[in-house]
Amino acid sequence: MRILALSHLFPNSQEPLREPFQAQQLAALSRFHPVEVVAPVGWVPILSGLSARARRRAKVPHREQWAGLTVHHPRILHAPGQVLNGILYAASLFRFRPPAFQILLSSWAYPDGFAAACLSQLWRVPFVLQVLGCDLNRLPEHPGLRPQIAWTLRRARSVLAVSSALAERARQLGASQARVLPRGVDLEAFSPREVEQDRLSLGLDPNLDWLLYVGRLEQEKGIAELLQTFEELELPQVGLAVVGHGSLQDLCQRAQTRLQGRLVMAGPRPHHEMPRWYGAARLVMIPSRREGLPNVLREALSAGRPVVATRVGGIPELLRHPCQGQLVPPGCRQALAEAILKQLQTRPEPQQIRRCSQLLDWRESAALLAAELEAVQAQSPHHC
C-alpha cells in the first residue's frame, strides 16, 4: 500500500524547525508502507518579493529528501483571508500526482484536509484525516471555514484525533465517527538526564530551579499569564526559560529586562536540542487556553519532568497521576501560582513519572496508524 501524505506543516530545508512531529510520524510510518509527502508552499503574489518569509519560501526546492522521505513542495496560491485557500490548494494539485498510491493521509483539517477530500474524489482513492487541535478548536470559529471543515469531516473515511476531547469535537462538527490515535514520542531521546550538566551546557545558572515553557509566543498559549504570574511570585531562586517565538516576542523581551537574568529567551531551537532543555528543567509549564494534546506534554513526561498545565483539550487524559504534576483552570493566575509553589516543594522520581505516563514510541504509534490505513484501504470500493 502506497501512501500519499498531505501536510503544509511538514519541515523543509528553508524552515527546518516547522513541526518536527510530522516528519517523525511519517518516517516511522514508512517502515510499514511506502510514503511520499506533499508539503505545499504558499504563494501570495503581492508579497512574493517583499517579506523575508516569502523570499525564504521561494528558495524551497520543488522536491527534496527529508528524514528518508521524498517530499514534494508544489506552489499553491494563497488569497487574502483563508476562505478560498482550501479550493486553491486542491486546484493547485489537480494535475499533480506522484506514482500510483492507494490512500491519502492528511494531517490538519483545513486547508490540507479539505484539499484531500476534493482530490480523493478526483483520484478515486480514500482519504484519512488526522486532526491535531487548532484545526478544530479555532478554525471553525471563522464562519467561512466551518462549513468547509464540516464537509471535510463527513468525506473522510476515518477521522483520527490526538485525544478523546478532540474526537468529540470532530463528531460535533460533522464527523460520523472519530477515534483516538495516540501520538508517539522519541522515548530514547527524551529520557531522564543529569540536571546540572544540561543547565551548564545551555548557559543556565545551575543554582536556580528552572521552569520551562516551550511553544509559540501567542495569547492563546497563555504565555502572557505565565510571565505575569512568574513576576508576581518573586522567587529569587527560580528562573524561567522560554523556547519559541511569536507575536508576543516584545512582551517577553520587556519582561526579560525587568527580571535581570531570571528569564531566558532562547528563541526557537532545533528539535535535537530539546532533550537538554527538558533535562535542565525542574518544572514544565503548559498554560494554554486551548489545546488538542500538545507534544510538549509527551516530551516532558518522557523526560521525567513534572508539568503544570491547564485543564483544556486532551491534557487531562494524559496528566492523570499526582506524580506527573498538576492541572489548573485556564486563565487563572492565582491557581497557576499556587501550583508552581506546590510543585517546587515536591521532587517526584523521574522514572516514576515516565512509567505512570504509559507513552508510546513513534514506531508503536505508527503501527496503529498503519493498521487503520490498511483497514480503510481494504474497505475501499476501488481496492483489488
CA distances, 275 to each of 104, 174, 318 (Å): 33, 39, 20
Domain assignments of the chain as residue spans, ordered by start: 3-184+362-379, 195-357
Rounded CA separation 80/82 (Å): 7
pLDDT at 46 over 70: no
CB 1 within 8 A of CB 11: no
**Pairing of the two strands 103-107 and 3-6:** parallel
| Confidence (pLDDT) at 42 | 83
Distance, CA of 327 to CA of 339 (rounded, Å): 8
DSSP 8-state assignment for residue 101: -
Class of domain 195-357: alpha beta
Residue range 310-343, pLDDT digits in tens: 999 999 999 999 999 999 999 999 999 999 999 9
| Residue 363, CA distances (Å) to 67, 197, 317, 360 in order | 14, 30, 21, 8
Indicate the range of 46-50, 51-55, 321-325 predicted with least confidence: 46-50
Task: Tell me the backbone φ, ψ of residue 128, rounded to 5 degrees.
Answer: -115, 135
Query: Do residues 150 and 173 touch, judged by C-beta distance below 8 A?
Result: yes
- Best CA proximity match to 69, nearest among 101, 43, 46, 37: 37
CA angle 260, 263, 268 (to 5 degrees): 135
Q: Which CATH number fits domain 3-184+362-379: 1.10.645.10, 3.30.200.20, 3.40.50.2000, 3.60.110.10?
A: 3.40.50.2000
Please choose, from the candidates 35, 161, 50, the residue with its C-alpha nearest in 3D space to the C-alpha of residue 105. 35
Mean pLDDT (whole number) for 44-56: 69
Above 70 in pLDDT, residue 98? no
Identify which has the larger pLDDT, 286 or 43.
286
The C-alpha cell 516528519 sits at 23
User: What is the grid cell recorded at 215?
Assistant: 511553544
Per-residue pLDDT at 96: 73
CA distance 139 to 131: 12
Q: d(Cα 16, Cα 137) in Å, to the nearest integer?
A: 26
> What's the rounded Cα separation, in Å, for the pair 267 and 332?
26
Name residue 131's amino acid.
Answer: V
C-alpha Rg value of the chain to the nearest Å: 21
Element (H, E) at 308: strand 307-310
Q: CB of 198 within 8 A of CB of 241?
A: no
The predicted-structure confidence for 366-381, as pLDDT tens digits, reads as follows: 999 999 999 999 987 7
Global pTM value? 0.93
Q: What's the whole-number mean pLDDT along residues 187-212? A: 96
Residue 278 pLDDT > 90: yes
Amino acid at the residue 346:
T
Domain 3-184+362-379 matches domain 195-357 at the CATH topology level: yes
